[in-house]
A and B are shown apart, each in its own frame.
Chain A
Amino acid sequence: MTSFPLNDDSVVVIIGSGAGGGTLGTELALKGVKVVILEAGPRIEIEDFINDEWASFAQLSWSDKRTTSGSWRVHKDFPNLPAWIVKAVGGTSIHWAGASLRFQDHEFKARTHYGNVEGANLLDWPITLGELAPYYEKAEFKMGVTRTNDIPGLPGNNNFKVLEAGATKLGYKEVHTGRMAINSRPRDGRGSCQQIGFCFQGCKSGAKWSTLYAELPKGEDTGNLEVRPESHVLRIEHDGSGKVTGVVYADSNGKHQLQKARVVCVAGNSIESPRILLNSASNQFPNGLANSSGQVGRNYMRHTTAAVFGVFDKPVHMYRGTTMAGIVRDESIHNPERGFVGGYEFETISVGLPFMAAFLDPGAWGRKFTAALDSYPNMAGLWIVGEDMPQETNRITLNKDIKDKFGMPVPNVHYDDHKNDISMRNHAYKQATALYEAAGATHVYQQTPYPSTHNLGTNRMSANPQDGVVNKFGQTHDIKNLFVSDGSQFTTGAGENPTLTIVALAIRQADYIAGEMMKRTI
Chain B
Amino acid sequence: MSMQGDHHTSPDDLDRRRFLKGSALLSTSMFIVGTALIHPGEGWAVEATGLKPATMQTLIKMARDIYPHDQIADKYYAIAVKGYDQKATQSSDIKTLIEKGVAQVDQIAKERHNRVYTAIIDESPRVEILHVVEGGPLFTMLRAGLIVDLYNQKELWPLFGYEGESASKGGYIRRGFNDLAWL
Contact = CB atoms under 8 A, between A and B. Distances in A.
Interface in A300-357: 314-317, 319-321, 352-354, 357
Contacts of A161: 178, 180, 183
A374 B171 contact: no
Interface stretch (A93-101, A245-253, A362-370, A452-460): A362-370
Contact of A197 (B69, B166, B182): B166
Contact of B172 (A54, A197, A204, A439): A197
A315 B183 contact: no
Interface string B162-176: 111111101111011
A49 B165 CA distance: 11
Interface string B136-172: 0000000100011011100001001111111110111
Nearest to B161: A377
A195 B161 contact: no
A447 to B, nearest CB: 15
Interface string B14-46: 000000000000000000000000000000000
A58 to B, nearest CB: 11
| Main DSSP-derived SS at the A contact region | loop
Contacts, number: 116
Contacts of B168: 51
Nearest to A161: B180
B162 A319 contact: yes
Interface string B55-78: 000000000001111010000000
Contacts of B143: 363, 365
Nearest to B182: A314
B122 interface: no
A321 B183 contact: no
Contacts of B175: 320
Interface in A179-236: 193-198, 204-205
B152 A354 contact: yes
A314 B167 CA distance: 25
Nearest to A155: B178
Interface residues of A, number: 44
Contact of B161 (A51, A197, A315): A315
Interface centre among B67, B161, B162, B177 (most CB of A within 10 A): B177
Contacts of A363: 143
Given A155-B178, A162-B180, A194-B170, A366 B127 contact: yes
A389 B179 CA distance: 40
Given A51-B167, A205-B171, A353-B160, A162 B148 contact: no
A194 B157 contact: no
B148 A358 contact: yes
A326 to B, nearest CB: 12
Given A195-B171, A195-B172, A358-B147, A352 B164 contact: yes
A158 interface: yes
Contact of A376 (B162, B171, B178): B162
A354 B175 CA distance: 22
Contacts of B183: 161-162, 165, 439-440
Nearest to B165: A51
Contact of B173 (A156, A194, A316, A358): A194
Given A165-B183, A365-B143, A158 B178 contact: yes
Nearest to A319: B162
A367 B69 CA distance: 8
Contact of B160 (A162, A198, A205, A376): A376
Contacts of A378: 161
B68 A158 contact: no
A321 B66 CA distance: 32
Nearest to B180: A158
Contact of B166 (A155, A165, A198, A315): A198
A374 B67 contact: no
B171 A196 contact: yes
B69 A374 contact: yes
A157 interface: yes
A195 B160 contact: no
Nearest to A440: B183
A64 interface: no
Nearest to B154: A52
Contacts of A162: 180, 183
Nearest to B69: A370
Contacts of B147: 357-358
Nearest to B134: A365
A513 to B, nearest CB: 38
Interface of B: 66-69, 71, 127, 143, 147-148, 150-152, 157, 160-168, 170-173, 175-180, 182-183
Interface of A: 49, 51-52, 54, 155-158, 161-162, 165, 193-198, 204-205, 314-317, 319-321, 352-354, 357-358, 363, 365-367, 369-370, 373-374, 376-378, 439-440
17 contacts: A157-B177, A158-B176, A161-B178, A162-B183, A194-B167, A197-B172, A197-B177, A204-B167, A205-B167, A317-B176, A320-B176, A321-B171, A363-B143, A365-B143, A366-B68, A377-B162, A440-B183
